[in-house]
């Protein structure tokens, strides 16, 4: 009897071991095989997230076939406690092993939704775009100006606490007042008491922002970036510039920024002003006059009147024989570089040429011819506009 019991026990043990081996083999195969996803999806790993919660979420979304297998695989590969907080794209057909590698390796978050808050001289616009999980391409979902009614496509995502990557983009040549005014209208930022930084102190660029950050925190990012950019460009500046310090360099860069939007001619525009400063000539640039009238608070929206060109302000470079006391906008890196690396030329004048760029001249005679040509172009445009109107 005892021998019969012992034999049965051994047989049962063998069967159990075979079953365990088969289960392990199946689990390993399941862990490494192609997953059930037919199209890519986006997931979020929360701070302090557990492998249990992540595996169950993935199973619910149809990304994996068995949550327990993923947990066991994570445990035996020593990755169960290595989850990285963030947002990730899980590609179609990804195995549990591949998914685990994605969510434990970390890296820059990939969001399904991106909200770009674009600040320019005419205000701010929020553009909401959705990333395609298959191609990575972006498709616009909603667009609205700051201060307008918020579309449901955007507000519904906020109400559902859907992860959104916010990006604040500041255009070159925007004033500090305009930037702060736009940030105060941003629904995703907190605080409403931000003070306006010194003109020129903010770096135009794109900044990834988390919802709920304060306006001051965003401004601090821009301030630090501009300090770094200006220091780097100043240290590498050309020799013999008529600029006493970085403040004057920033002022000149802001004038270059406002005078031309054509990247290829920034250094030549800078050369004209540098040549004038060397000769102690008045800069005679309209953007400085406009800043003296608006103080950077909004856009003039029309041409300058003769009386305004004659009005004495500390920014009227038709009257003052030097740089204005401060920058007139926030210049980008390219304009700062141009101000500190101007072309070597003898040009002292420039005027619009009708193509979006400028005609440059060394002498007043040539400049007057260029001005006459520009006036003919303007007259022709007015005539054509009048015909269309009639």
Instruction: For residues 104 and 82, give the distance between their C-alpha atoms in angstroms, rounded to a whole number.
Output: 5
Q: For residues 197 and 141, state if they share a domain.
A: yes
Residue 204 included in any domain: yes
Q: Which residue has the tokens 């003296």?
A: 292
Cα 48 from chain centre: 29
Distance of CA 172 to the CA centre of its chain: 12
Q: Does the predicted model carry a pTM greater than 0.95? A: no
Instruction: Give the C-alpha separation, 238 to 236, whole Å.
Output: 7
β-partners of residue 130 are 113, 139
Please tell me the distance from the alpha carbon of residue 288 to that of residue 327, in angstroms, as a whole number: 9
pLDDT digits (tens, 9 = 90+) for 166-213: 999 999 999 999 999 999 999 999 988 889 999 999 999 999 998 999
Same domain, 370 and 267: yes
Terminal alpha carbon distance of the chain: 116
* pLDDT at residue 5 in the model: 46
- 76 plus 134 within the same structural domain: no
Give the start-end residues of each E strand in the chain. 41-45, 86-90, 113-120, 123-131, 138-145, 164-170, 206-209, 349-352, 358-361
19 lies in a domain?
no
Q: For residue 170, give the DSSP letter.
A: E
30 and 126 in a common domain: no
Among residues 230, 265, 300, which one ends one of the domains? Answer: 230
Does 203 lie in the same domain as 243? no
Asked if residue 76 belongs to a domain, the reply is: yes
d(Cα 54, Cα 49) in Å, to the nearest integer? 7
What is the Cα–Cα distance from 334 to 338, expressed in whole angstroms?
6
**What Rg, from alpha-carbon coordinates, does the chain have?**
31
Residue 321 is assigned to a structural domain of this protein? yes
Note whether 221 and 334 are same-domain residues: no
**What's the number of domains the chain is made of?**
3
Which single residue is written with the structure tokens 């926030």?
330
- Assess whether 73 and 143 both reside in one domain: no
**What is the number of residues in the chain?**
390
User: What is the per-residue pLDDT for 100?
Assistant: 76
- For 243-254, the pLDDT digits (tens) are 999 999 999 999
Residues 77, 209 within the same domain = no
**Are residues 223 and 248 located together in one domain of the fold?**
no
Residue 14 lies in a domain: no
For residue 85, give its domain range. Answer: 25-105
Residues 151, 81: one domain?
A: no
Beta bridge partners of 351: 359
For residue 268, being part of any structural domain is answered with yes
Token readout for 75 is: 């445990």
- Cα torsion 181, 184, 189, 190 to 10°: value is 140
- Which of 230, 261, 284 is the last residue before a domain boundary? 230
Q: Which of 115, 114, 106, 116 is nearest to 136 (CA)?
A: 114
Taking 70 as the pLDDT cut, the residues of the chain under it are 1-28, 30, 39, 41, 91, 106-107, 133-136, 390
Check residue 339 and give its pLDDT: 98
Give the residue from 105, 130, 160 where a domain finishes: 105
Report the distance separating Cα 101 and Cα 85, nearest Å.
13
Are both 196 and 164 inside the same structural domain? Answer: yes
| CATH number, position 68 | 3.30.1490.480
Contact 180, 141 (CB under 8 A): no
Is residue 10 domain-resident?
no
Q: Is residue 51 part of a domain?
A: yes
Same domain as 246, residue 174: no
The pLDDT score that the predictor gives to residue 387 is: 77
* CA separation for the pair 188, 141 (Å, rounded): 17
């Amino acid at each position: 009897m005892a021998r019969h019991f012992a034999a049965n026990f051994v047989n049962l043990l063998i069967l159990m071991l075979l079953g365990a081996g088969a289960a392990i083999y199946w689990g390993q195969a399941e862990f490494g095989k192609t997953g059930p996803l037919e199209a890519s999806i986006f997931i979020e790993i929360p701070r302090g997230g557990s492998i249990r919660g992540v595996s169950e979420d993935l199973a619910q979304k149809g990304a994996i076939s068995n949550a327990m297998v993923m947990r066991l695989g994570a445990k035996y590969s020593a990755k169960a406690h290595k989850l990285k907080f963030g947002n990730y794209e899980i590609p179609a057909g990804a195995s549990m092993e591949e998914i685990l590698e994605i969510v434990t390796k970390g890296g820059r978050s990939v969001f399904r939704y991106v909200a770009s808050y674009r600040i320019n001289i005419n205000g701010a616009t929020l553009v909401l775009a959705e990333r395609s999980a298959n191609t990575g391409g972006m498709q616009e979902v909603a667009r609205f100006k700051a201060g307008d009614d918020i579309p449901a496509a955007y507000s519904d995502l906020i109400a559902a606490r859907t992860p959104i990557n916010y990006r604040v983009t500041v255009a070159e040549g925007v004033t500090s007042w305009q930037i702060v005014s736009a940030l105060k209208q941003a629904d995703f930022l907190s605080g409403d008491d931000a003070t306006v930084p010194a003109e020129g102190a903010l770096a135009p660029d794109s900044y990834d922002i988390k919802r709920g950050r304060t306006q001051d925190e965003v401004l601090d990012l821009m301030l630090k970036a501009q300090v770094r950019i200006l220091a780097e460009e100043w240290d590498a500046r050309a020799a013999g510039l008529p600029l006493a310090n970085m403040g004057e360099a920033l002022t000149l860069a802001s004038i270059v920024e406002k005078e031309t939007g054509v990247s290829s001619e920034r250094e030549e525009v800078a050369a004209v002003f540098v040549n004038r400063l060397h000769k102690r000539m008045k800069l005679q640039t309209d953007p400085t006059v406009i800043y003296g009238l608006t103080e950077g608070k909004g856009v003039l929206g029309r041409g300058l009147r003769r009386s305004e060109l004659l009005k004495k302000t500390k920014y009227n470079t038709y009257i003052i024989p030097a740089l204005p006391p401060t920058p007139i906008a926030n210049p980008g890196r390219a304009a700062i570089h141009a101000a500190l690396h101007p072309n070597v030329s003898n040009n002292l004048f420039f005027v619009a040429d009708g193509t979006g760029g400028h005609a440059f001249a060394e002498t007043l005679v040539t400049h007057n011819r260029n001005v006459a040509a520009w006036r003919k172009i303007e007259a022709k445009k007015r005539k054509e506009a009048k015909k269309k109107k009639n």
